């Protein structure tokens, strides 16, 4: 009969119906009544994402495909792939082979960095070939998931600088970092280094057909730029009045490059601290304030506040939790998060594209641990991304969760049992 059920509408059709009504079994058996049920449904937000850090600890292509399968089941549609950082460079760039030869390996700190049999250094290595990346991108696309690569500049740069010391401020060789936290090494601002940025982004543009490329921009402490006469000279020559303005010029240049290749640039909320091209999208991680400010200014925003959506934080008090950042982010808190700040004027609300869970992997050495951290909390992110705010209901979510856990068990998803 062409019955239409719209999202958010109450209907007794399925909920109250007796099984024989649902299956439309005809009473007389000689005539079959066929009815079509149309369901009109649409997500609240267009950006329903998950980020995986493959730099601190890497995952296999098969593992990433399993994550993409699980994301698709939750109707998540953005996979943010963190591929470069101080502790490892994970993407093959043919013009710069040392990024793999040098940058994809580190000697882990402590006992993990020593082969007990020989006493020699035991490197931790890994990277994705371009063929593997194309494979992941196609697998994601078949599941309606866009893959957004991240190349983090001008900080989180040690693996690249270890590969090509001329990219750094001091020019001195240094090892790929084996320590977590904010590292003081930055890229320099020479023309050759800009060319390196554009070469890497040029490869990313070819490999990733999606709309967005993430250029990082976070945690770039400027001590090295301040201390370097050469950088200060260059800043003057390029017209930057201070270091943050310099980062802004760099970001603006990358934005122009990406726009010329049909891509939108996205960065962590620090990029707001300088003049920002209007088309830049901001990922608000230091709370939601950056996102609020960015949206007020007319930028698109993805909400990823670390206090709610960083899934390297522990999810229960259980002693059985694997290692993680020490404070607690329980599922209920994840579910309660609303990406649209109350203080945002109504005419700016369309700038909030959505939300995303970020899985940093300093403490997450295995895919089993990654899944533990992601699930079931990722289901709460998915529901916030899809369901109209007025229809959200944590008790209802919990009541539906056992069926989801059963699906995950059938799919082999190792969700947290804690
Ligand atoms: C970040 O967590 N440094 C974006």
What is the 325 CA–ligand 1 centroid distance (Å)? 13
The Cα 149–Cα 84 span in angstroms is 9
Say yes or no to pLDDT of 169 above 80. Answer: yes
Say yes or no to pLDDT of 107 above 60. Answer: yes
Find residue 147's DSSP bridge partners: 79
For ligand 1, which residues put their CB under 6 angstroms from it?
Answer: 218-219, 268, 285
Whole-Å CA distances, 70 to 45, 74, 138, 156, 371: 19, 7, 16, 29, 10
The set of residues, in sequence order, having a beta carbon less than 8 Å from that of 309 and lying 6+ positions away, is 303, 334, 337, 355, 356, 357, 358, 381
Q: In the prediction, which pLDDT does 18 show?
A: 47
Question: CA angle 248-266-367, nearest 5°?
Answer: 125
The Cα 136–Cα 218 span in angstroms is 26
For 56-94, the pLDDT digits (tens) are 999 999 999 999 999 999 999 999 999 999 999 999 999
**Is the torsion defined by CA of 80, 86, 87, 90 positive or negative?**
positive
Looking at the CA of residue 358, tell me the nearest atom of ligand 1: 2
For 249-290, the pLDDT digits (tens) are 999 999 999 999 999 999 999 999 999 999 999 999 999 999
Average pLDDT value for the chain: 93
Q: In the prediction, which pLDDT does 326 show?
A: 85
The Cα 404–Cα 415 span in angstroms is 11
Q: In the prediction, which pLDDT does 31 show?
A: 62
What is the 283 CA–ligand 1 centroid distance (Å)? 10
Q: In the prediction, which pLDDT does 16 show?
A: 46
Please name the residue whose Cα sits nearest to atom 2 of ligand 1: 285
Probe residue for ligand 1, chosen from 219, 283, 325 as the CB with the greatest number of ligand atoms within 8 Å = 219
The Cα 401–Cα 308 span in angstroms is 20
Please name the residue whose Cα sits nearest to atom 3 of ligand 1: 218
Of 125, 144, 45, 70, give the one whose Cα is nearest residue 352.
Answer: 45
Q: In the prediction, which pLDDT does 323 show?
A: 85
Q: In the prediction, which pLDDT does 252 show?
A: 97
What is the 373 CA–ligand 1 centroid distance (Å)? 17
Probe residue for ligand 1, chosen from 268, 269, 307, 311 as the CB with the greatest number of ligand atoms within 8 Å = 268
Probe residue for ligand 1, chosen from 218, 221, 290, 311 as the CB with the greatest number of ligand atoms within 8 Å = 218
Q: In the prediction, which pLDDT does 404 show?
A: 97
What is the 55 CA–ligand 1 centroid distance (Å)? 13
Active site residues: 85, 156, 219
Looking at the CA of residue 219, tell me the nearest atom of ligand 1: 3
pTM of the full predicted structure? 0.92
Is the CB of residue 374 less than 8 Å from the CB of residue 311? yes
Say yes or no to pLDDT of 4 above 90. Answer: no
Please name the residue whose Cα sits nearest to atom 1 of ligand 1: 218
Q: In the prediction, which pLDDT does 27 show?
A: 53
The Cα 205–Cα 197 span in angstroms is 12
Q: In the prediction, which pLDDT does 34 show?
A: 72
What is the 177 CA–ligand 1 centroid distance (Å)? 17
Of 237, 193, 197, give the one whose Cα is nearest residue 216.
Answer: 197
Of 398, 357, 404, 399, give the one whose Cα is nearest residue 378.
Answer: 357
């Amino acid at each position: 009969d062409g019955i239409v059920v719209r999202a958010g509408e109450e209907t007794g059709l399925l909920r109250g119906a007796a099984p024989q009504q649902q299956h439309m079994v005809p009473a007389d058996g000689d005539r079959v009544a066929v009815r079509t049920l149309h369901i009109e449904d649409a997500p609240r937000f267009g950006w329903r994402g998950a980020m995986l850090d493959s730099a601190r600890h890497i995952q296999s292509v098969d593992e990433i495909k399993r994550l993409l399968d699980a994301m698709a089941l939750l109707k998540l549609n953005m996979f943010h792939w963190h591929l470069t950082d101080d502790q490892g460079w994970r993407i093959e760039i043919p013009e710069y082979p040392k990024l793999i030869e040098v940058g994809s390996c580190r000697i882990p700190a402590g006992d993990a960095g020593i082969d007990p049999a020989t006493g020699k250094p035991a490197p931790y290595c890994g990277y994705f070939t371009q063929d593997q990346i194309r494979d992941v991108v196609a697998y994601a696309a078949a599941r309606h998931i866009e893959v957004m690569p991240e190349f983090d500049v001008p900080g989180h740069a040690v693996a690249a600088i270890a590969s090509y010391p001329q990219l750094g401020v001091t020019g001195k060789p240094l090892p790929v970092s084996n320590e977590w936290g904010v590292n003081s090494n930055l890229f320099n601002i020479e023309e050759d280094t800009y060319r390196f940025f554009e070469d890497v982004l040029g490869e990313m543009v070819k490999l990733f057909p999606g709309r967005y490329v993430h250029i990082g921009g976070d945690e770039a402490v400027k001590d090295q730029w301040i201390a370097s006469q050469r950088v200060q000279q260059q800043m003057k020559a390029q017209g930057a009045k201070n270091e943050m303005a310099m980062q802004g010029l760099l970001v603006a240049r990358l934005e122009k490059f990406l726009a010329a290749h049909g891509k939108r640039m996205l960065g962590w909320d620090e990029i707001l601290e300088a003049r920002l091209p209007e088309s830049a999208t901001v990922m608000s991680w230091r709370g939601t304030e950056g996102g609020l400010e960015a949206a007020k200014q007319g930028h698109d925003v993805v909400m990823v506040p670390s206090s709610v959506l960083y899934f390297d934080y522990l999810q229960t008090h259980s002693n059985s939790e694997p290692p993680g950042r020490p404070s607690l982010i329980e599922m209920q808190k994840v579910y309660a998060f609303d990406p649209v700040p109350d203080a945002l004027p109504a005419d700016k609300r369309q700038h909030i594209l959505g939300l995303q869970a970020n899985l940093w992997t300093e403490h997450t050495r295995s895919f089993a641990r990654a899944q533990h951290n992601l699930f079931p909390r990722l289901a709460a992110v998915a529901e916030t991304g899809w369901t109209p705010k007025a229809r959200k209901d944590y008790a209802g979510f919990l009541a539906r969760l056992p069926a989801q856990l059963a699906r995950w068990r059938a799919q082999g998803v190792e969700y947290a049992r804690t």
